[in-house]
Amino acid sequence: MSDIQPVIMAGGSGTRLWPLSRGQYPKQFLPLAPGGATLLQATLGRLEGLDGRPPIIVCNEDHRFIAAEQTRLAGHAQATLMLEPVGRNTAPAIALTALQTLASADADDPVLVVMAADHLIPDLAAFQRCIRHAVDLARRSLLVTCGVVAHRPETGYGYIETGEAIGPGYRVSRFVEKPDAATARTYVDSGRFLWNSGMFVFRAQAYLNALAQFAPDILTSCQAAMATISRDMDFVRIDRASFDACRSESIDYAVMEKTPDAAVVPLDAGWSDIGSWDALWEASSHDAQGNAVLGDVMAFDTRNSHVHATSRLVATLGVSDLVVVETKDAVLVADRHRMQDVKQVVEQLRARGRSEHQIHREVYRPWGIYDSIDQGERYQVKRITVKPGAKLSLQMHHHRAEHWVVVSGTARITNGERTYLLAENQSTFIPVGQVHSLENPGKIPLELIEVQSGSYLGEDDIVRFEDRYGRAASEAPAPKDTP
């Protein structure tokens, strides 16, 4: 078996790409890569030809079903999905994967290739060449990072200063924080500095040894968390209480800046971390006026702008250097050079108790997707799509009734003591307090309209009795959620 173990970090929130990226559906799951692939799927695609083991994907508990479905669609059904009960930054997350790998039946101290799930890297050949060079150094017990060749001064990234040459790379002289513009210019002009990409390559045991030396408390917490792991469907769950107690720290601060064994391999592959709309504009293809457009867009006398439409026509006229992003429930119009400030909008949404920072109007669930079409006093309307073979939980509500109308496909309904089928244009009514469930027994997606009515429509009014996806028996309050 190959000694290369890919590890994909997929737990970020990507708030600077709001309103497209949100807490419950962040940028790594969005189709921002060329060809319509999501960033996670594009990351998985870079593994082809590296002759590695099935990847380990570390993701947030709330994103587990999205990550599992996108991984399956990318042809990596054998991947292991490790669920972080709470975010603790990269040093602990990577420690979990190292411990998991060494505890497996074929524990032979593999080389971990740690990648972020939300980067764009267009030049696959250059990327894989860099990784192979890094693996060669990691087999010498070095802790290796990939440093991006800096073609311009950039104040948004940390830098790595290269030291003496070693094989296909260099010893790390030092890591430096994000510089000001003048300092960034001197770094680039010197030719000795690379951008810190956040990709790492090292033996699992070498990393744990370094963690034991420089951050032993993190290692102890992670060992305790991994002592009582459990498997739930396709997921590996770790002990929440132990991981809660772990210090939050990046691998850079915890290990890489302290170890004398740090090395760096240059990467020149068109890398971008897609950290803002401006960064996505730079990484996108442009029309003759310098615009990056996606969706139903009509741009008149528009220059150097990013215009993204998801659900309706967006027209621009006589503007330049703008970002315009339209979704079903929010629109962003902003100066393209101020996109680092989008997080202020997200913070205000959160402070005002609004849901748009967290969820879209369309929400993905393990059984399919729903779209909150309309809502008002004592009613809410949703369009629900259930995947073939999927089933919503057996549940009941104390305060709302539901009326279902089948648009296409076939529905198997459990309504109290009765179970029956509904075809297109047929409907059924679920009274308040009635135990019920919905299943798609067919070969095509089931689509239906759900009309909720009642004195209270909050999603904490749900009690689950059975659920094939292992979700909680009752829901915490969550605006616009669904069973």
Q: Identify the CATH number of the domain in which residue 424 sits.
A: 2.60.120.10
Domain boundary among 217, 240, 267: 267
Asked if residue 238 and residue 122 are part of one domain, the reply reads: yes
Which phi and psi angles does 55 have, rounded to 5°?
-70, 155
pLDDT at 477 over 50: no
Asked if residue 284 and residue 158 are part of one domain, the reply reads: no
Asked if residue 181 and residue 75 are part of one domain, the reply reads: yes
Selected residue with higher pLDDT from 377 and 471:
377
Asked if residue 328 and residue 203 are part of one domain, the reply reads: no
What pLDDT does residue 482 have? Answer: 42
What pLDDT does residue 459 have? Answer: 76
* Beta pairing partners, 35: none
Domain count, the chain: 3
What is the distance between the alpha carbons of residues 330 and 372, in angstroms, rounded to a whole number? 14
pLDDT at 331 over 90: yes
What's the rounded mean pLDDT across residues 168-192?
94
Q: Cα 142–143–146 angle (5° rounding)?
A: 115
Q: Which domain holds residue 318?
A: 277-350
What pLDDT does residue 1 have? Answer: 59
Q: Is residue 139 part of a domain?
A: yes
What is the distance between the alpha carbons of residues 183 and 190, in angstroms, rounded to a whole number? 11
- Characterize the bridge pairing of strands 322-326 and 306-309: parallel
Domain boundary among 323, 350, 377: 350
Q: Are 323 and 306 in contact, with CB atoms under 8 Å apart?
A: yes
What's the rounded mean pLDDT across residues 118-137?
96
Asked if residue 451 and residue 373 are part of one domain, the reply reads: yes
Q: Is residue 476 part of a domain?
A: no
Write down the mean pLDDT value for the chain: 92
Asked if residue 281 and residue 263 are part of one domain, the reply reads: no
Asked if residue 377 and residue 290 are part of one domain, the reply reads: no
Domain boundary among 209, 244, 267: 267
Q: What share of the chain is helix, strand, coil (3-state, %, to 5)?
A: 25, 35, 40
Asked if residue 65 and residue 20 are part of one domain, the reply reads: yes
Q: Is residue 483 part of a domain?
A: no
What's the rounded mean pLDDT across residues 224-253?
90
Q: Is residue 357 part of a domain?
A: no
Selected residue with higher pLDDT from 125 and 476:
125
pLDDT at 478 over 60: no
Q: Is residue 341 part of a domain?
A: yes
Q: How confident is the model at residue 481 (pLDDT cuts 50, 70, 90)?
A: very low
pLDDT at 225 over 60: yes
Map residue 128 onto helix, strand or coil. Answer: helix
What is the distance between the alpha carbons of residues 243 and 11, in angstroms, rounded to a whole number? 15
Q: Is residue 286 part of a domain?
A: yes
Q: Is residue 161 part of a domain?
A: yes
Q: How much is the pTM?
A: 0.88
Asked if residue 344 and residue 454 are part of one domain, the reply reads: no
Asked if residue 283 and residue 216 are part of one domain, the reply reads: no
Asked if residue 59 and residue 8 are part of one domain, the reply reads: yes
What pLDDT does residue 479 have? Answer: 37
pLDDT digits (tens, 9 = 90+) for 421-476: 999 999 999 999 999 999 999 999 999 999 999 999 887 888 999 998 877 765 53
Q: Is residue 474 part of a domain?
A: no
Nearest to 130 by CA among 205, 201, 59, 198: 201
Asked if residue 230 and residue 140 are part of one domain, the reply reads: yes
